[in-house]
Amino acid sequence: MAKLGFLMAGACALVLAQASLAAPADQKANEAAFDAGVSSQDQMDWLKTMSSAPNHVGSPHDKANAEFILAKFKEWGWDAKIETFQVLYPTPISTTVEMVAPEKIVLGGQEPAVPGDDTSTNLAGALPPYVAFQGDGDVTGDLVYVNYGLPDDYKALERRGIDVKGKIVIARYGAGWRGLKPKLAQEHGAIGCIIYSDPQQDGYGDGDVYPKGGARPDFGVQRGSVADMTVYPGDPLTPGVGATADAKRLDRKDAVTILKIPVLPMSYGDASKLLSRLGGPLVAGGAQGGLPIAYHTGGDGKVQVHLAVKSEWSLKTVYDVIATLKGSQYPDQWVVRGNHHDGWVFGASDPLSGNVAMLSEAKALGGLWKQGWRPKRTIVYASWDAEEPMLLGSTEWAETHAAELKAKAVIYINTDGNGRGFLGAEGSHDFQHLVNSVAADVTDPQTGVSVAERSRAGVRVRAYDKIGQVSEAALAAAEKGGDLPIGALGSGSDYSAYLQHLGLPALNIGFGGEDESGGVYHSVYDSYHHFTTFDDPGLKYGAALSKTVGRLVLRVADSDTPPQRFGDFADTVSTYLTEVKKLAEDRRTEDRKREKLLTDKAFLLASDPTKPVAPVGAEAKTPHVELAALEDAVDHLKAAAAAYDSAYADKGGKLDQARRVKLNAQLRDIDQLLLDERGLPGRPWYKHMIYAPGRFTGYGAKTLPGVREAIEERRFDDANVYAGRTAKVLDAYAARLEAAKATIEGK
């Protein structure tokens, strides 16, 4: 569902100190045999078949794809089955959006056919543009342009005297997750919401539009889910438990993740007809988009819109394909790897490009199996259904099998849509070095160097050419040829339940940055034609993804002890704490400045009387947060991690079997110690104290979320409470490392 925020993950393994995790010779041979089983042509064939018809949840082709995948797994020697769930999944009966004043113009409807894109010419059975889990309704009202529709946008509007009560808002995609826009509109009293793709970021501002290029054409629309996943993902009716046939379900009206107001997505071709007619003041500078007009806020009654959505709300069947290769030595230690198979329409890029890469891995692993190889640990592959409406297939499976997963799973490795370009990786930082080690051993299809080396070059050149933002840490690592940092996981794909609800370490992997899949994201044009023309011609990066993830799976499955490096995790958490302290200090400075500006009436004096902007509102001062215990815990973690890593590097290769078993047991669930069962404030489903999707960023991660978001949102009591809780989980983690070190040392 989500595009990986494609920066680089990079690698090394040439530095001597890191050699301890490099692949041994027999593993190298096994990986070479694995690579021989990976075929871009296979992936192209499967992609063409699987993306040949609409494959959204409940569609015949989605079920057919699940059965196709099941058959393939079986053919390749896997123990495979389909598990089903019954989930709430609304599909539109009717969608209406039209301007009714100053003139009547009917908008919306299905996206048109595009010459050369064969599947776009036959949309029978395809979903029209809509967003799942909006609130059905039929409203007419004044239109207000709210820019990205995020909290700062409402503050800017308020200072300009614009409110949205009783009105319909139109927000552009971007800057924060889709679902936050109607949620915040609803909270501000709006009666409806339109979300459109602005061409500045997602249209001609991004390149030539489809079909000349890959960027979004003026009639392209982004579908998506607006279920409030910041509270919990998965089936809205079964929070925390699997949506099995006999599960206890909430009444739909009590499901807090379903919005209350009608919402529709829109193309910029349609949006321009509305935005060009808006009255009211000019927008604040940053809200001007890429349409050839001066953007206005509206809200003056000039433009009236009629918006109506009616959905069919029955339960639908979800088809998760689950396939297993049983471990020879540690059958009750599972390496879990998944990618979803449902799309919004044809879903060639999202998700099928990742799914066919996963199938290549499965075929190659099956080939090894047939040659007699047996993994030490059990390998579980999952092709999820119903990711698009809000991670339903993966979440319901995780909730159903929670106890077993917590008792057995070693890691969850996810992919989603894939494309041409650079390796991107996010996840649990104890596996950061493993990702880098693998990246050093996979060849980039375009340059012939390792994907790690290309990533480092990319980071350095982007910094030199001032393209985008490159973190100082990434640049420093790239320049010295070291491990590139991996990102933190927020949400937007199927890892969420495994990481944030169950506490498994997780990775999310993909290539991208040179593809143009963003231009057809969640539209009819995310097709085989677009994908093989603009995103990954020849699926060379599909094969690279298989080789990358295959290595991750093999190295975890076949290692004596899974290859974690805890110093990376400790250093990263230390960085997060530094950020949080800086955040609090910056807030205090800003608080002082704001108070003085208000006292001095500076906002009034600086405001243009012909375009008045009211002062910002007064705010409580940000106090100092009680961080001593958290600082101590981070120190504890750093010391324990360094000591463990050093002890393992010295003696980890020579453990006797009893100590090996004990050590593995100590480490297998160490990441689960990062959970606090009470969860985060207002959203107990999210239990991880280090990684969470942001309440106001959505897909974007917030790290040390209990503390960081409390400071950001001025919940200062929560900040103190969660500083303490976060300290506790880190202390427990550090203590476990100390115990594991003692095991290594025979104590």
Using CB under 8 A, list all residues that contact its own copies: 199, 204-209, 213, 215, 282, 285, 288, 290-294, 421, 446-447, 449, 453-454, 456-458, 460-462, 464, 467, 479, 514, 590, 593-594, 596-597, 600-610, 616
Q: Which residues of 706-730 are buried (b: 16+ CB within 10 A; e: fewer)?
A: bbbbbbbeebbebbbbbbbbbbbbb
Query: Cβ of residue 485: shortest distance to its own copies, in angstroms?
Result: 18
User: Do 570 and 675 meet the contact criterion of CB atoms below 8 Å apart?
Assistant: no
Name every residue whose Cβ is closer than 8 Å to that of residue 502 and which is 6 or more positions away in sequence. Answer: 398, 402, 405, 406, 409, 672
CB-wise, 115 or 468, nearer to its own copies? 468
What's the closest the beta carbon of residue 495 comes to its own copies, in angstroms? Answer: 28
Least distance from its own copies to the Cβ atom of residue 188, Å: 21
Which of 108, 280 has the CB closer to its own copies? 280
Q: Which is nearer to its own copies, 28 or 582 (CB)?
A: 582
Q: Reduced to 3 states, what is the DSSP secondary structure of residue 584?
A: helix
Q: Which is nearer to its own copies, 471 or 607 (CB)?
A: 607
Rounded-to-integer distance, Cα 469 and Cα 28, Å: 36
**Count of H helices and E strands in the chain?**
21, 18
Residue nearer to its own copies on the CB measure, 28 or 601: 601
Decide if 529 contacts 119 (C-beta within 8 A): yes
As measured in angstroms, the least distance from the Cβ of 275 to its own copies is 11
Closest distance of CB 97 from its own copies, Å: 22
Distance CA 673, CA 729 (A): 6
* Closest distance of CB 332 from its own copies, Å: 43
Query: In terms of CB distance, is 616 or 647 closer to its own copies?
Result: 616
Question: 104 vs 593, which CB is nearer to its own copies?
Answer: 593
Rounded-to-integer distance, Cα 541 and Cα 356, Å:
11
Nearest to 541 by CA among 505, 586, 509: 509
| Residues 58 and 132 sit within 8 Å (Cβ to Cβ) | no
* Pick 608 or 656: Cβ nearer its own copies: 608
Largest CA distance in the chain: 81
Residue 109, SS3? coil
- List alpha helices for 118-248, DSSP H: 151-159, 180-187
Instruction: Name 231's Cβ contacts closer than 8 Å, sequence gap at least 6.
Output: 256, 257, 682, 683, 685
CB of 294 to its own copies, least distance (A): 5
Question: Least CB distance from residue 41 to its own copies, whole Å?
Answer: 21
Q: How far is the CB of 58 from its own copies (least distance, A)?
A: 37
Burial 77-114 (b: 16+ CB within 10 A, else e): bbebebbbbbbbbbbbeebbbbbeeeeeeebbebbeeb
DSSP 533-559: III-GGGHHHHHHHHHHHHHHHHHHHS
Nearer to its own copies, 208 or 560 (CB): 208
Q: Contact 428/703 with Cβ under 8 angstroms? A: no
CB nearer to its own copies: pick between 284 and 410: 284
* 3-state helix vs strand vs coil in the chain, percent to 5: 40, 15, 40
Q: Which one, 202 or 671, has the nearer CB to its own copies?
A: 202
Q: Which is nearer to its own copies, 136 or 536 (CB)?
A: 536
Please, what is the minimum distance in Å from the beta carbon of residue 3 to its own copies? 17
Inter-CA distances, 169 with 141, 196, 303, 617, Å: 9, 11, 11, 23
Pairing of the two strands 691-693 and 701-703: antiparallel
Q: Report in angstroms how near the CB of residue 561 gets to its own copies at its nearest.
A: 34
Q: Which of 551, 543, 625 is nearest to 584 (CA)?
A: 625
Q: How far is the CB of 464 from its own copies (least distance, A)?
A: 6
